[in-house]
């Protein structure tokens, strides 16, 4: 067993993690006060299928779970499949059909868990909503939200600009339910934009006298097959990226990789079209794909190792070759794609 004051630095590499709140040290300090450390990652979905980007979060969650167990903690981790929230947007069509896909999503997630020996338990949001205490917890969250002007200011940042009016009309129901769910956990893993959900959760938890959520935010997910000009023209996507688990995020489904039989051809095509910068500070979708294969390898081999990205970013051909090789070994073959 490791010393409880140490944790693998690789797991918090700046190439993997954008931000940790409050800090890695504080997370460990708070975990020491818990009988059980509860981890959470939640995602909705759309009609286009499961993205390869979702794998990054599944793998990271499981690697963190394993790391905390090796530090001596008892750990529970969940992936919440947001079936109910997947049909919240008024622009969603065929809502009944999309809800029916939740069971398929859950089945596929269990297959991924088995193939990579992952540690989390997947659960449907609709199941959590049926817990006896959920309505009471949701009402408590809503009361604080409506009485605290700062809450609405933060909630506005959780929503893309084109959906803000819709959320305001709905009384931020989506946000209130999301915050209610995540306040039941200690550490949440998510994409950069979710920092605002978690900020809101901390504010409400503080007012309710509950423990405040810690957050680990992975690097953004970027669209593939686009030139650098796209990111200059869309600074919001350069900053926060796309929603990793929704292929149709920002209507860029044609620039995403879906976990299906056609993904081999899709990735090869994207390799030709994608802008590949020579700096680790710039959006690099191919490097992000390589990172996902590194995490897949780490789960399969039970040893966390990352490629030398500094070298690969200066050698485009080697980056492509290594990516293709690792996709074959650690994604295509395990998932029978």
CA distance 304 to 295: 7
Confirm if 235 and 74 have CB atoms less than 8 A apart: no
Q: Sign (positive/negative) of CA torsion 124, 125, 129, 133?
A: positive
Q: Which residues face 242 on adjacent strands? A: 221
At a CB cut-off of 8 Å and minimum separation 6, what does 299 contact?
Answer: 59, 62, 63, 116, 117, 118
In total, how many domains does the chain have? 2
Q: What pLDDT score does 295 carry?
A: 97
Shared-domain flag, residues 246 and 187: no
CATH number for the domain spanning 101: value is: 3.40.50.620
Rg (CA), the chain: 20
Q: How far apart are CA 244 and CA 31, in angstroms?
A: 28
How far is C-alpha 173 from the geometric centre of its chain's CA atoms?
Answer: 21
Claim to verify: residue 214 and residue 235 sit in the same structural domain:
no
Instruction: Judge contact between 210 and 16, C-beta under 8 A.
Output: no
Task: Determine the pLDDT at residue 132.
Answer: 85
Q: From 297, 325, 290, select the one nearest 311 (Cα to Cα).
A: 290
Of the three residues 188, 218, 248, the one that is the final residue of a domain is 218
Q: Are residues 92 and 197 in the same domain?
A: yes
In a shared domain, residues 57 and 201: yes
Distance from C-alpha of 106 to C-alpha of 100, rounded to nearest angstrom: 11
Strand partners, 37: 75
Residue 167 confidence (pLDDT):
73
Number of H helices, E strands in the chain: 15, 6
Q: What is the 3-state secondary structure (H, E, C) of 239-283?
A: HHCECCCCCCHHHCHHHCCECCCCHHHHHHHHHHHCCCCCCCCCC
Domain carrying residue 31: 9-218
Same domain, 101 and 242: no
- Residue 6: alpha-carbon gap to chain centroid: 24
> Residues for the chain: how many in total?
337
Q: Which residue among 185, 218, 251 closes a domain?
A: 218
Instruction: Quote the CA–CA distance of 15 and 286 in Å, as a whole number.
Output: 13
Q: Are residues 213 and 252 in the same domain?
A: no
Model confidence over 74-101: pLDDT tens digits?
999 999 988 777 656 555 556 666 677 7
Q: Which residues of the chain have pLDDT under 70?
A: 1-7, 86-98, 160-163
Q: What is the pLDDT of residue 137?
A: 93
Q: What is the pLDDT of residue 1?
A: 46
Measured CA to CA, the distance from residue 165 to residue 68 in angstroms comes to: 41
Number of C-beta neighbours around residue 219 at 10 A: 21
- Angle 175-213-160 (CA atoms, 0-180°, nearest 5)? 30
- Does residue 197 sit in the same domain as residue 273? no
Query: Rounded to whole angstroms, how far apart are CA atoms 337 and 241?
Result: 26
Domain assignment present for residue 337? The answer is no
pLDDT of residue 288: 92
pTM to 2 decimals? 0.92
- SS (HEC) of 156-207: HHCCCHHHHHHHHHCCCHHHHHHHHHHCCCCEEEECHHHHHHHHHHHHHHHH
Please tell me the distance from the alpha carbon of residue 86 to that of residue 122, in angstroms, as a whole number: 16
| Residues 124-172: tens digit of each pLDDT | 888 888 888 989 999 999 999 999 988 888 888 777 666 677 777 777 8
Is the Cβ–Cβ distance between 86 and 45 less than 8 Å? yes
Chain mean position to CA 111: 19
Q: Does 54 fall in a domain?
A: yes
Residue 223 belongs to some domain of the structure: no
Same domain, 119 and 165: yes
| Separation of alpha carbons 77 and 183, rounded Å | 14
At which of 218, 238, 259 does a domain end? 218
């Amino acid at each position: 067993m490791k010393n409880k004051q140490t944790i693998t630095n690789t797991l918090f590499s700046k190439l993997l993690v954008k931000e940790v709140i409050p800090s890695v040290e504080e997370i460990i300090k708070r975990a020491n006060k818990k009988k059980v450390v509860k981890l959470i990652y939640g995602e909705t979905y759309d009609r286009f299928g499961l993205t390869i980007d979702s794998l990054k979060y599944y793998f990271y969650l499981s690697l963190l779970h394993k790391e905390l167990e090796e530090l001596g903690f008892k750990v529970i981790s969940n992936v919440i499949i947001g079936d109910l929230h997947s049909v919240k947007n008024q622009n969603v069509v065929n809502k009944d059909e999309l809800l029916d896909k939740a069971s398929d999503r859950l089945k596929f997630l269990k297959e991924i868990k088995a193939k990579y020996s992952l540690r989390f338990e997947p659960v449907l949001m609709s199941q959590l909503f049926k817990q006896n205490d959920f309505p009471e917890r949701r009402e408590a969250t809503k009361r604080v939200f409506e009485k605290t002007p700062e809450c609405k200011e933060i909630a506005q940042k959780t929503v893309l600009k084109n959906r803000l009016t819709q959320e305001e009309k709905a009384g931020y129901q989506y946000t209130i339910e999301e915050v209610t769910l995540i306040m039941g956990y200690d550490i949440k893993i998510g994409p950069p934009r979710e920092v605002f959900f978690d900020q809101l959760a901390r504010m409400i938890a503080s007012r309710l006298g509950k423990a405040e959520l810690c957050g680990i935010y992975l690097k953004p997910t970027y669209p593939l097959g686009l030139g650098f000009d796209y990111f200059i023209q869309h600074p919001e996507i350069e900053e926060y990226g796309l929603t990793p688990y929704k292929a149709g995020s920002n209507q860029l489904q044609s620039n995403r990789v879906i976990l299906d039989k056609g993904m081999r051809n899709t990735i090869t095509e994207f390799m030709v079209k994608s802008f590949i910068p020579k700096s680790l500070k710039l959006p690099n979708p191919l490097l992000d794909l390589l990172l996902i294969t590194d995490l897949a390898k780490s789960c399969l081999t039970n040893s966390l190792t990352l490629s030398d990205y500094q070298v690969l970013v200066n050698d485009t051909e080697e980056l492509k070759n290594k990516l293709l090789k690792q996709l074959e070994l650690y994604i295509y073959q395990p998932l029978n794609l």
